[in-house]
Amino acid sequence: MATREFRLPDLGEGLTESELIEWHISVGDTVTLNQTIADVETAKAVVQLPSPVAGVVTELCAEPGETVQVGTPIVRFEVGGGDAAPASVPDAPAASASSAEPAAAAPAEPERQSVLVGYGPAAASGRAPARKARKGAFLPAATSIPAAPAAVATATTSAPAARARTLATPPVRKLAHTLGVDLAQLTGSGPHGVVTRDDVQHAASAPGEQSAPASPSASSAREQATSAPAPARAGFPAERHTPIKGVRKATAQAMVESAFTAPHASVFLTVDVTRTMKLVRRLTEGGDRASLLAVISKAVCLAAAAQPALNSHWDDDASEIVEWGHVNLGIAVAAPRGLMVPVVHDAHAKTVAELADSIGELARTARAGELSPQQLSGGTITISNVGVFGIDAGTPILVPGQAAILATGAVQRRPWEHRGKVRLRDVMTLSLSFDHRLVDGEQGARFLTDVGRMLSDPATVLGRV
Answer whether 352's CB lies under 8 Å from 295's CB: yes
Active-site position among 24, 264, 326, 436: 436
Answer whether 404's CB lies under 8 Å from 435's CB: yes
Residue 72's alpha-carbon distances to 9, 52, 136, 215, 349, in angstroms, are: 9, 16, 9, 26, 42
- CB within 8 A of 216, min separation 6: which ones? none
- CB within 8 A of 443, min separation 6: which ones? 307, 309, 310
- CB within 8 A of 355, min separation 6: which ones? 294, 297, 298, 344, 347
The two beta strands, 138-140 and 2-7, are: antiparallel
In angstroms, rounded to a whole number, what is the distance separating the alpha carbons of residues 68 and 66? 6
Instruction: Check if 436 is active-site.
Output: yes
How many degrees, rounded to 5, is the angle at CA 3 between CA 82 and CA 195? 140
How many degrees, rounded to 5, is the angle at CA 434 between CA 433 and CA 435? 140
Which residues are designated catalytic? 436
